[in-house]
């Protein structure tokens, strides 16, 4: 793949989790984030417009690296790759999704919430993982507990992360970056407040490790 999962995680302190309901929002939203220093963009596969949005960003915003979130199946991975996604993020892990991403040349950040899931992902060669849903499943204390047995795994906690609690996650040695939707608020997109999104992205630069 052009970008490894580690490179995707190291590019900025936050991977934005983006839900797009309108293709017209995709390009200005991506440009707004890039202007704020955030270029690894996770567009979630949870709206009918998601694939068209990825295509638009891949075509019109060369400074951005578009990835697909909510990848739950081989078909999702295939559709995302066809739409120009260059990395994938999944809310959980199956070997089928892991293999599909490998075959497609998509780096994958697999979601895990238990020790067994970490072990399954590790068995398949994945050592950079998304901890999802991070706050709901135990927060920073869970990552501290995992740092013992899973000393060779790095995480991107996502789910319930905010500008306020991100520093506590990023202070942990086994956390490289966090994920979150707070830097792309739905109402800002609806109102076309792109400067606001740029500012939210800029605010995250102070979180850099």
Q: According to CB under 6 A, which one of 13, 159, 188, 201 is a site residue for ligand 3PG?
A: 159
Q: Which of 74, 130, 154, 168 is catalytic?
A: 130
Report in angstroms the alpha-carbon separations of 95 from 30, 33, 42, 114, 125. Answer: 31, 32, 21, 16, 10
Q: What per-residue string of b and e applies to 40-69 under the rule 16 or more CB within 10 Å gives b?
A: bbbbbbebebbbebbbbbbeebeebbbbbb
160 contributes a contact to ligand 3PG by CB under 6 A: yes
Comparing CB distances to ligand 3PG, the nearer of 139 and 159 is 159
Q: Which of 17, 30, 53, 100 binds ligand 3PG (CB under 6 A)?
A: 17
Q: Is 202 a catalytic residue?
A: no
Q: Which residue is nearest to ligand 3PG (CB)?
A: 181
Burial of 116 (0-12, 13-18, 19+ CB in 10 A): exposed
Q: Where are the alpha helices (DSSP H) in the chain?
A: 5-10, 23-35, 50-60, 74-82, 95-104, 115-123, 139-146, 166-170, 186-190, 194-203
Q: Which of 90, 107, 158, 198 binds ligand 3PG (CB under 6 A)?
A: 158
How far is 10 from 177, CA to CA, in rounded Å?
7
Query: Cis bond leading into 133, ω under 30°?
Result: yes
- Region from 80-88, 178-186, 192-200, 201-209 binding ligand 3PG, contact rule CB under 6 A: 178-186
Tokens describing residue 94: 């199956």
Tell whether residue 177 is a contact of ligand 3PG (CB under 6 A): no
Which residue among the candidates 42, 55, 63, 202 is catalytic per the annotation? 42
Q: Is 130 a catalytic residue?
A: yes
Asked if 204 touches ligand 3PG (CB under 6 A), the answer is no
The nearer residue to ligand 3PG, 60 or 142, going by C-beta atoms, is 142
Q: Does 181 bind ligand 3PG (CB under 6 A)?
A: yes
CB closer to ligand 3PG out of 148 and 157: 157
Residues that bind ligand 3PG (CB under 6 A): 17, 132-133, 158-161, 179-182
Residues assigned a catalytic role: 42, 130
């Amino acid at each position: 793949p052009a970008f490894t999962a580690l490179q995707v995680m190291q590019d900025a302190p936050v991977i934005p989790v983006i839900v797009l309901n309108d293709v017209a929002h995709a390009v200005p939203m991506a440009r707004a984030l890039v202007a704020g220093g955030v270029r690894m963009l996770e567009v979630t596969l949870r709206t009918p417009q998601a694939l068209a949005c990825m295509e638009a960003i891949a075509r019109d915003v060369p400074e951005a690296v578009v990835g697909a979130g909510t990848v739950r199946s081989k078909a999702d991975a295939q559709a995302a790759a066809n739409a120009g996604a260059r990395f994938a993020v999944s809310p959980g892990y199956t070997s089928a999704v892991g293999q599909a991403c490998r075959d497609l040349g998509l780096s994958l950040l697999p979601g895990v919430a238990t020790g067994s899931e970490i072990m399954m992902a590790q068995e398949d060669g994945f050592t950079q993982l998304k901890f999802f849903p991070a706050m709901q499943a135990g927060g920073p204390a869970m990552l501290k507990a995992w740092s013992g047995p899973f000393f060779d795994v790095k995480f991107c906690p996502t789910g319930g992360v905010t500008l306020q609690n991100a520093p506590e996650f990023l202070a942990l040695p086994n956390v490289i970056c966090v994920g979150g939707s707070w830097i792309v608020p739905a109402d800002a997109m609806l109102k076309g407040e792109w400067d606001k999104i740029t500012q939210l992205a800029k605010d995250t630069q102070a979180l850099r490790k």
